[in-house]
Each structure stands twice: as C-alpha cells, then as structure tokens.
Amino acid sequence: MRYAMVIDTLKCVGCSDCVVACQTENDVPIGYCRDWITETVKGTYPSLDLELKSERCNHCENAPCVRCCPTGASHIVEGGIVLVTGDECIGCGACIESCPYDARYQHPDGYVDKCTFCHHRLEKGQLPACVSVCPTKCMYFGDLDNPNSEVSQLLKKRKYKTLAPEAGTKPHVYYLL
C-alpha cells in the first residue's frame, strides 16, 4: 500500500477550508498549521498565470527527516506515512532543518509536529480531514499501488508535478496541472 494525495490546482480556489479543518481535527495550536495555501502568480503582464495550492508534508519515499532523526521518533508506517512519536522526540530540530518543504514545526509542548495524512481517520476508514471538507472537491486521496484507485487513474490521465523533485525526496503529494 502506498498512500498519496492528488490536488487539482485548476479546481482549488484557495479558500483555506482544508487549513481550518486540519486545525480543528488535529487540535493544532493557534498560530501554527499542518497545511497551508500558497498562491503563485507568474508570467509577463498582461498574460499572467495564477496557481493556487494546498501544501503539507509530502510523506516522501526518501524522507530526509526520518534519516536524520537521532532517536527514531520520525518514522515511516504502513502506507508510507511519515509520523513523529512525540514521546521519543527530543526537539533537536534536525528534521526541521532537513525538510525542503519546511513542513514541520516545533509544537509549543516541545516535540515536533506535522501532517499525519490524518492517520487516525484512515484507521477508521475515513478520508483525511482536509480532503473530506474541500468544497471544490479538488483533493483526492488513495492508494497508488492499486491501479484502479482514483489517484492512480488521475495521475495516468492528467499532467502533474511534485514539489522540489530536484531535492530527491520522491514526494507523494501530487499537483494536477
């Protein structure tokens, strides 16, 4: 099993509903976030391109955060999800330094925190909170190892990109173009 998230940049309107849903579902402290919206405007006036994206931990296959963790608090579980065990984390910050996406932060309680793909919801057969609330239905979640899953089909049909592929992390959040 290999979980992946596919986000349609053509459908996303940048409403931040995914951000609020995540903060509520995961009790994210005020001022922090596990996912966030970015807006990029590119081009030569007047022909400009706007791209809206919902970003989060990419649950990389070649995860530098897991490699550099001195205690093993950062680890990969079934489905390729990268998790942090709070009680094993010493808060050294090495994983934060190692992440090209700056997807991790130090929780006010001391340990390092980040997106879990809503692991606790997946165990109950539910979708991640951000995916389930998206009003434009621009986010898809599923198993890449299953060729018939919605995410596999979308990646077969549509053009897509991943973020900073040159960092060599093999991210598993895909953006449809």
Partner 1 sequence: MEEELFISGRNIPNIDPSLEVWHWPISLYLFLGGLAAGLLFFAAVFYLLGKDKKYPAAVKVSSVIPPIALSIGLLALVYDLTHKLYTWQLYTTIRIESPMSWGAWVLLIVTPISFLWTFSYYREVYPKLENKLQVFKRLKFLNGLEKYIIKNRKYLAYALIPLTLILGIYTGILLSAFNARPLWNNAILGPLFLTSGLSTAAATIILLSKKKKEKHFFGKIDLALIIIELALISHMIMGYFAGPEVQVEAMQLLIGGEFTVMFFVFVIILGLIIPAILELIEIYGYKTPVAIAALLVLLGGLVFRFVMVEAGQITRYLY
Q: Which residues bind partner 1 (CB under 8 A)?
A: 14, 16, 19, 31-33, 36-45, 48, 55, 64, 67-73, 86-94, 96-100, 102, 104-106, 109-111, 163-164, 166-168
- Cβ proximity to partner 1, 113 vs 152, nearer residue: 113
- Cβ proximity to partner 1, 16 vs 153, nearer residue: 16
Burial letters for 130-168: b for 16+ Cβ neighbours within 10 Å, e otherwise?
A: bbebbeeebbbbbbbeeeebebbebbeeeeeeebeeebe
Least distance (Å) between residue 160 CB and partner 1: 14
Least distance (Å) between residue 148 CB and partner 1: 31
Residue 4: CB atoms within 10 Å? 24
Nearest Cα neighbor of 167 from 63, 39, 55, 43 is: 63
Least distance (Å) between residue 33 CB and partner 1: 6
End-to-end Cα, the chain, rounded Å: 25
Least distance (Å) between residue 98 CB and partner 1: 5
Which residues does residue 2 pair with via DSSP β-bridges, in sequence order?
A: 79
Nearest Cα neighbor of 119 from 152, 150, 80 is: 80
- Cβ proximity to partner 1, 71 vs 136, nearer residue: 71
- Cβ proximity to partner 1, 17 vs 25, nearer residue: 17
